[in-house]
Chains A and B, each alone.
Chain A
Amino acid sequence: MDILYLLIPLSLLLVFLIGGVFWWALRSGQFEDLEGPAHRVLMDDDDHPR
């Protein structure tokens, strides 16, 4: 069971890591527009002005 001494702190570390990622996502507005980006990825930007 000694492995638990490694695994449990590791899981704690992971929790805080994931929490940090979520915090970043929330801060940068990832949850504000759930529809637009899905379409945006389909549009090409490479039409050049004449």
Chain B
Amino acid sequence: MTVTPVASHAPARACFHCGLPLESAVFPVTLDGIEQDTCCRGCQAVAQTIIDNGLGAYYRSRTAPAPSGRNAGGVPQELDIFDVPDVQRAFVRDAPASDHEKEASLLIDGVTCAACVWLIEQRLARLAGVTAVSLNYATRRARVRWDKGRTALSAILRAVADLGYEARPYDSSRAEERLRRERSVLLWRLFIAGFGMMQVMMYAIPVYLAEGAMTPDIEQLMRIASLVLTLPVALWSALPFYAGAWRELRVGRVGMDVPVSLGIVIAFAASLGATWTASGQVYFDSVSMFVFLLLGARFLEMEARAKAARTQEQLVRMVPAYAERVSEGGDGATERVAVAALRPDELVRVRPGSAIPADGIVTEGCTAADEALLTGESRPVTKRPGDALIGGSINTDGVVTMRVTRVGEDTVLAGIVRLMDRAQSEKPRIAQAADRVAQWFITALLLLATAAFAVWWQIDPTRALWVVVSMLVVTCPCALSLATPAALTAATGAMYRAGVLITRGSALETLARATHFVFDKTGTLTTGRMSLAGVTLLSGDTRAQCLAYAAALESWSEHPVGRALTLAASGVHPVASDVRAFAGEGIEGVVGARQLRIGRPGFVAALHGQTLPRELQLAPAAVTVVALGDSQGWLALFMLDDIVRHDALAMVRALTAGGAKTALLSGDRPQRAAHTALELGISEYRGGATPADKLAYVRELQAQGAVVAMVGDGVNDAPVLAQAQVSVALGSGTELAQTSADIVLLHSRLDALVEAVHTSRRALRIIRQNLGWAVLYNIVALPLAMAGLVTPLAAAVGMSVSSLAVVLNALRLLRNGR
């Protein structure tokens, strides 16, 4: 066996253990007589542990570098807490068939390749007292069994930590575990039905082909063999349908499971009778095929649900188990504590490569955070002191200290999980309508089947039963019931990947039907940050000089205008003295020997007593004007604009091209609203609108029959967002937890809205196609079955092909193509 060591692939100056670039100091370890360099004491310790335990083979066969050992050094004392029986209750069980052994599920972080699995299993298996260990590579979950008299759980967790991985208890009572068990039972039922179906078919085909040329005793043998194989299918595999039908009947409804169960029971009972009397047709093949195909559809649906559950599980998993809390002594020392023990206002240090433990604000250091799973934004976001960090995102660059603002259930991450739960628990209107139609349809079907039975009893009593079975099977309304949920699940998944979070079940449908998109201006179409749009020079000073003066004064100000001007001067400016700020007016100060004022023109004019410059009238209505002057006269006028989001224009164009009307509502000056509207090509606009005005405007549109989608920043526009049929909020992280909007654009990118509208329309189109197909199929199939032209086998095939077509059509939504 030839195994290439990873070290030879890595650049010459990379850590032998974790593959990170080496810095000046190196920490050597010796493997197989060759000295290798590691990047830090942590990696050295981990590598040494691995080699000392005789597990050096790990380095020869791994295919990805190990997680960095930088944080592995200090094994937290808190692991002892996991030995307390009360703490263990959630995730430790008594091992089956043993009275002194315990079993626990652990989630292992840092597993990068199959060699890690080997390494951890080997290390734990060699630990005294551990009786069994298996680590699942796909789920990163380990099952460990140990003798409670010989070792403790904390020792096991410590052994994993010594290898540079992080193990944490996994609470197996979670939804995913239940889903896993459900899945394995369903898989077993599906297997029985499928296997039974194939075998029964083997016995049925010869009988069909022989067309009566078979001797009666052989034919009877075939019947009995088929019966034996169909027995488990009809009695065990089909159990969920009987249970469902019973549930439905008990609450006085007829759902999909009723005709399904009826079909199975009638066909099976009649075939049983035919076998008993050794005469007549048996349809065991149809029964087992019908059950198999229906179970197959259920299995597909369950896989889709499991996938959704996994996305959520992934989100929950993003919060690390431990955090480095900065001690209160003020000496900068840190201690490792459990994340659950963190409280708001505590300081936490986050190292590069590790996850941010809670929501907070950077107090020290600069870094970039990878928020991809939370917001869909793939590029790391730069974080400086004062910026908000989202718990669960990954710190990619530097060491930062943050002040915790929210923990546990209050965090953004917990909010997203809650919103996703809510969306999934609500049934959209179109699905409710489909359910109502299905129920009505089934009632009609049962009546028709009874009538058909009565008629056929007169014509040909031997065929009456088969006609009924064919009718019940061929018109199975599964396609009707599957059509909507399949499409919605696929669409929601596709949208979340594009950074659009659907928080209400019916939002998707309403968005697709929206005729009017109404936008708030500040913070929605614009970024809410001011920028310098132009400078009018009024004296001999250059533009750069004026900007430098402005920045010198404004650097004392926290106002958005001040920040815009300081930014425009690119940070290079002289220092002003004797600075005085006049609230709502401007700033006065001395730069060099000149006394300067910046602010409202009237405020500046008071310094030199000259009339307002003519250029002020020429300034466009859509900008804020700030004047600069000294004691001699005017120096310059600065025009400031709120930056329009770079993707706003493209979004408005795309929406208009899609046939939707756009409108802009703003609390700003009317001229300014008009300016933004014109710039973006929005035909309707209202400036100077109070929240009540906005509400009235939306009501007026709705009175004319419009379906209004309101796009706002989510917090300030709550009433009008609630009034619109569908509300879209731009959620840049922090406000997300409190949002009431139906749809959230996770990374505040407006083009995601276009994508969302597009996907929702596609979803609605596919739902309509599916429903249309289901209806058409039934219209054709039902009369044929009633006329006795469809055998039960053909009916089962027809039913399943129609269901399959519906599911496959819905899965098209997962592809991102247009």
Contacts and interface: CB of A to CB of B under 8 A. Distances in A.
Nearest to A9: B225
Given A12-B225, A19-B195, A42-B1, A49 B215 contact: no
A40 B61 CA distance: 10
Nearest to B138: A33
Nearest to A15: B199
A33 B118 contact: no
Contacts of B115: 39, 43
Interface string A7-36: 011011001001100110010000111111
A26 B187 contact: yes
B191 A35 contact: no
A8 B220 CA distance: 12
A17 to B, nearest CB: 11
Nearest to B228: A12
A34 B137 CA distance: 8
A39 B118 contact: yes
B184 interface: yes
Contacts of A40: 114, 117-118
Interface in B103-141: 113-115, 117-118, 122, 126, 135-139
Contacts of A4: 218, 221
A23 B195 CA distance: 12
Contacts of A15: 195-196, 199, 229
A50 B49 CA distance: 11
Interface residues of A, number: 30
Contacts of B114: 35-36, 38-40, 43
B222 A8 contact: yes
Contacts of A26: 184, 187-188, 191
Contact of B138 (A1, A9, A32): A32
B107 to A, nearest CB: 15
Nearest to A49: B54
Given A4-B221, A48-B54, A36 B187 contact: no
A25 to B, nearest CB: 10
Nearest to B61: A43
A8 B187 CA distance: 27
A4 B115 CA distance: 52
A8 B117 CA distance: 46
A36 B136 contact: yes
A34 B192 CA distance: 21
Interface residues of B, number: 37
A4 to B, nearest CB: 6
A14 to B, nearest CB: 9
Given A8-B221, A15-B195, A35-B114, A1 B215 contact: yes
**Central interface residue in B113, B222, B229, by most chain A CB within 10 Å:** B229
Nearest to A44: B57
B164 to A, nearest CB: 18
Given A33-B139, A36-B114, A50 B195 contact: no
A48 B126 CA distance: 11
A1 to B, nearest CB: 6
Given A33-B136, A42-B1, A50 B52 contact: yes
Contacts of B139: 32-33
A49 B127 CA distance: 13
B54 A50 contact: yes
Given A1-B218, A43-B61, A23 B138 contact: no
Contacts of A50: 52, 54
A36 B135 contact: yes
B53 interface: yes
Nearest to B191: A22
A38 to B, nearest CB: 8
Contacts of B117: 36, 39-40
Interface in B187-231: 187-188, 191-192, 195-196, 199, 202-203, 215, 218, 221-222, 225, 228-229
Given A23-B188, A40-B114, A49-B52, A35 B221 contact: no
Interface in B662-721: none
B55 interface: yes
A35 B137 contact: yes
A50 B114 CA distance: 24
Interface of B: 1, 52-57, 61, 113-115, 117-118, 122, 126, 135-139, 184, 187-188, 191-192, 195-196, 199, 202-203, 215, 218, 221-222, 225, 228-229
Interface of A: 1, 4-5, 8-9, 11-12, 15, 18-19, 22-23, 26, 31-36, 38-40, 42-45, 47-50
